[in-house]
Amino acid sequence: MLDECDVLLRDGAIAHVRPLAPTDLTALHQLVDRTSELSAYLRFFAGGRATAHAYMERVTAPGHPGRVLVATLGGRAAGIAEYIPCGDGTADMAVLIDDEVQGDGLGTLLLEHLAAHAAAEGFGTLVAQVLVRNTPMLRLLRDVGLDVQIRYDGAEADVRVNLTPGARMLANVAARDHQAGRASLAPLLTPASVAVIGAGRDPAGIGHKVVRNLLDGGFPGSIHPVNPKAAAIAGLPAYPDVTAVPVPVDLAVIAVPAGAVPGVARQCAAAGVKGLVVLSAGFAESAGKGAEGELLGICRSAGMRLIGPNCLGIVNTAAHLNASFLPHTPQQGGVAVLSQSGAVGAALLDRLAVSWFVSVGNKADVSGNDLLEYWEDDDATTVIALYLESFGNPRKFARIAARAGRRKPILLVKSGRSDAGDRAVRSHTAAAATPDIAVDALVHAAGVIRLDTIRDLIDTARLMSTQPLPAGRRVAIVGNSGGPQAMTADACERNGLIVPELTPDPELAGRIPAASLRNPVDLTADAHAADIGLAIQNALTEPEIDAVLVVYTPPFGSGADATKTAIAQAARNATKPVLACVMGQDGLIDGHVPGYAYPEQAVHALARAAAYAEWRRTAPETSAPVLGDRAAREIIQGSEGWLAPDVTERLLRHFDVPVLASATVHDAESAAEAAAALGGPVALKVTGPVHKSDIGGVRLGLRGPVEVREAYREMAASIGTAMTGAIVQPMATEGVEIIVGGVNYPSFGPLVMIGMGGVAADLIADRSFRMPPITLETAAEMIADLRCSPLLYGYRGRGKTDTAALAGLLTQVGHLMAALPEVAELDLNPVIVTPEGAVAVDARIRVAPGAHLPSPYTRRLR
């Protein structure tokens, strides 16, 4: 089924892409009528417009064999694209774009969607005949990012588009999405004119507060209060509705009752407003989900972007734009803040110096993904701080964050860490892989710094927005009190920071004979501010030190004010981070040195900065997402629920996952026959229950048909109808038992797990999770994450196992999970890892029909 979605064009306009309907015929004829003779000739060759009209009749007729997409802009057909199967694994494609929007990227967009759908249907190549003089079409085909072969034959060119996408296609799609997203948000976030609809004369009213904040903040553009019952608001002329404003309006801030919002939005659409910020509550957060959908539909049809509803507004400190009803003017700085909660956002603004503040409220349209795209290139922003209650498109968030995070740190507090619901899936992996675990895996891969509390976010943002990143984890602790410094050193060790021993500085030793200078550098309570400043400067010159953490306990020495001045002066031109704990006091010192009330706060922030710096130094992930696998889908075709053992084995072998051979049996006699055929000791395992060991459904080391026959009968008597059969396997070589699993979330997509296996898998809960694709490097990292990993590397004289084989198995499981969204959960438990390899000896796979995730190779607004 072809997708239906809203999409952004190069200039930020919103198009709607959907499958063609028979009722589109009139609109398509109108599209042809608007098409120039040259465009009709380039598309339909000699037939021109007459052929174009006949083509529109043909594609809308019943039984047309093509897959056809139509794109609309403002309710008018602006483009059509199709492919028709040729019967040889290829499909013939064609595109026609309205002359008025040619060059805006609509043709590229339609080709992306056509290619993704054709590939999903199993086609390997799109073909087309293009006139050589049709240079725009040839350029479009070359630039889309797929492998394109063009063979020129006189006036025509034969084009073949290989539908196997890769890193170049993904990069091109991301670049186009980035450009379009920024263009769509620019009028909303950097407007030249603002209308405040619902502004009243009462200073306590929300609309009036917005007007007042715009005026008091020094907004340089024009401000237009809209109120049909007032001639002036806050000294500005008021207008009865937005259509009466005499100049074009970029941004409309709406503060009217929820019931009136859709009507106001339609007026804004008629007036050509570019974007809306809807402060009004009473939408999806209460009982107004339908009204929120109506509001979004109005905005999308008119090409307006929407922030809110149910939000506080937006702030752009560099542009002196305060289009909010906040009680205080935010302090200008380098932190861009997005908050889904108004209360949390207000708390952040009280404690951080910001470049931006966007309260997204219900997040009906503009989301964290959009703002990440915009802030990635914003020169005023050095750190991005997010408070989110939900993800609209988590996989897209990860892709954008992984790119943007290479330029500036992204901090995230995500609420909802508890496992809040019953899940229908109950394998080991599904029970362990809670939605919060999925969030952790998602953000880990993207380099996002996930924090537990708003306090953590403030502490980390304060450091990372003012100080350079540390080159390593080695810390010098300088201060005037041994106890707090020892606590700081302990906290460093707990958080993976290193406190190396230093050579005492002779000058300091001479000035303070009682000082302990080997790190922590304890200058004693008698140390003056100048002594602390000198110690900081000395530590900064030490090549084995990456950061300096000052711990000062007032009022000793020269007192807090003088000591803060000395700290700020010593750190002013430092190329290494300097941070301070002035006991009991929070806030920036002299505007550039982050200060913390307690040592643990400072250490936690520094540890996160060090980890982020390490991630920045790693090579970016370049592997492209996996698309569907037709052959694999044929293996599971018609299946639902837990796969039969033989189907499970076929599917795993298709993806080159090593699995121990097994024979499926349904009674005691067939079990005995299988044991005789295999010879040697065997294992007998039931195939019905998920956790077979818990109910006596596993018997190991059975010798010969007699033992196997008796074991089967005992199991059948004990387990009853839940026993739907069994498998017989040769006994595996003894080794380390590991569990490898996968689970697929409808929104997050696939998640892969490795952990300690066997019957202790749930008890020990030693696990590591990642999102596919899983590279060999990522797999090795997952293995090393495990507390039980020493068992694999030769613990206490045991032989080293083949961890490379285990890593390869992990990558293949990741490939399987990414290629087949139908796989709801997968358990390989145990995987036996030996010096000779890794093999799954027990496997369970559950498939479930469900909505597939959108292709990463197509663009869409969620």
DSSP per-residue letters across 2-25: ---EEEE-TTS-EEEEEE--GGGH
546-568 burial by CB neighbour count: b if 16+ within 10 A, else e?
A: bbbbbbbbbebbbebeebbebbb
Number of residues written out for the chain: 862
Query: Considering the domain boundaries, does residue 324 fall inside one?
Result: no
Q: Are residues 146 and 54 in the same domain?
A: yes
From 682, 703, 730, the end of a domain falls on 730
Q: Are residues 151 and 190 in the same domain?
A: no
Q: At what angle do helices 167-189 and 106-120 cross, to 10 degrees?
A: 140
Q: Encoding tokens for residue 441?
A: 């895996």
Q: At what angle do helices 599-617 and 454-464 cross, to 10 degrees?
A: 60
Query: Considering the domain boundaries, does residue 703 fall inside one?
Result: yes
pLDDT at 428: 61
Tokens 């860490």 correspond to 417
Q: At what angle do helices 776-785 and 803-819 cross, to 10 degrees?
A: 110
Query: Considering the domain boundaries, does residue 325 fall inside one?
Result: no
Q: Are residues 523 and 602 in the same domain?
A: yes
Contacts of residue 667, defined as CB under 8 A and 6 or more positions apart, other chains included, come to 712
Query: Considering the domain boundaries, does residue 170 fall inside one?
Result: no
User: Sign of dihedral through CA atoms 835, 838, 839, 841?
Assistant: positive
Q: Are residues 240 and 362 in the same domain?
A: no
Amino acid identity, residue 752?
V
782: left (phi over 0), alpha (psi -120 to 50) or beta: alpha
Catalogue the long-range contacts made by 200-204 (C-beta closer than 8 Å, 24 or more residues apart). 200/227, 200/230, 200/233, 201/230, 201/233
Query: Considering the domain boundaries, does residue 673 fall inside one?
Result: yes
User: Sign of dihedral through CA atoms 675, 678, 680, 683?
Assistant: negative
Q: Encoding tokens for residue 404?
A: 């943007």
Q: Could you write out the DSSP letters of every residue in 666-696? A: SSHHHHHHHHHHH-SEEEEEESSSSSGGGGT
Q: Encoding tokens for residue 589?
A: 């010192």
Q: Are residues 12 and 154 in the same domain?
A: yes
Contacts of residue 841, defined as CB under 8 A and 6 or more positions apart, other chains included, come to 659, 660, 683, 729, 732, 830, 831, 832
Query: Considering the domain boundaries, does residue 31 fall inside one?
Result: yes
Tokens 């056809």 correspond to 68
Q: Are residues 159 and 186 in the same domain?
A: no
Query: Considering the domain boundaries, does residue 319 fall inside one?
Result: no
Q: Are residues 488 and 637 in the same domain?
A: no
pLDDT at 422: 36
Q: Are residues 854 and 805 in the same domain?
A: yes
Q: Encoding tokens for residue 160?
A: 């073949």
pLDDT at 578: 98
Say which CATH number the domain at 414 has.
3.40.50.261
Q: Are residues 432 and 395 in the same domain?
A: yes
Q: Return the closest-CA partner of residue 575 out of 595, 603, 547, 596.
A: 547
Q: Is 64 exposed, middle or buried, given 0-12, 13-18 or 19+ CB atoms closer than 10 A? A: middle
467: left (phi over 0), alpha (psi -120 to 50) or beta: beta
Q: Return the closest-CA partner of residue 206 out of 239, 233, 232.
A: 233
Number of domains forming the structure of the chain = 6
From 164, 198, 224, the end of a domain falls on 164
> Could you give the count of Cα atoms lying within 13 Å of 311 in the half-sphere of its Cβ?
28
Q: Are residues 647 and 713 in the same domain?
A: no
Q: Is 438 exposed, middle or buried, given 0-12, 13-18 or 19+ CB atoms closer than 10 A? A: buried
From 730, 758, 780, the end of a domain falls on 730
3-state class (DSSP) for residue 28? helix
pTM beyond 0.75, yes or no:
yes
Q: Are residues 637 and 776 in the same domain?
A: yes
**Using an 8 Å Cβ cutoff, are 273 and 251 in contact?**
yes
116-132 burial by CB neighbour count: b if 16+ within 10 A, else e?
A: bbbbbeebebbbbebee
Range of the domain at 675: 661-730
Could you give the CA distance from residue 305 to residue 276 in angstroms, rounded to a whole number? 6
3-state class (DSSP) for residue 58? helix
Query: Considering the domain boundaries, does residue 582 fall inside one?
Result: yes
Which residues in 325-444 belong to E strands, given as ranges? 332-339, 354-359, 383-388, 410-414
**pLDDT averaged per 10 residues, the chain (length 862):** 86 96 95 94 87 95 94 95 94 95 95 91 93 94 94 95 91 95 97 98 96 98 97 97 97 97 97 97 82 95 96 97 95 97 93 97 95 97 95 89 96 74 49 78 91 96 98 97 95 97 89 89 93 96 97 94 97 97 94 96 98 93 72 90 92 96 90 89 83 80 91 89 87 92 86 86 82 92 94 85 97 93 92 95 88 80 84
Q: Could you write out the DSSP letters of every residue in 266-306? A: HHHHHHT--EEEE----STTTT-HHHHHHHHHHHHHHT-EE
Q: Are residues 546 and 432 in the same domain?
A: no
Could you give the CA distance from residue 463 to residue 588 in angstroms, rounded to a whole number? 9
pLDDT at 695: 78
pLDDT at 435: 77
3 state SS for 793-834: CCHHHCCCCCHHHHHHHHHHHHHHHHHCCCEEEEEEEEEEEE
Q: Return the closest-CA partner of residue 137 out of 79, 196, 75.
A: 79
Could you give the CA distance from residue 268 to residue 298 in angstroms, rounded to a whole number? 10
468-480 burial by CB neighbour count: b if 16+ within 10 A, else e?
A: ebbbebbbbbbbb
Say which CATH number the domain at 212 has.
3.40.50.720
Say which CATH number the domain at 714 has.
3.30.1490.20
Could you give the CA distance from residue 614 to residue 407 in angstroms, rounded to a whole number? 13
**Using an 8 Å Cβ cutoff, are 146 and 110 in contact?**
no
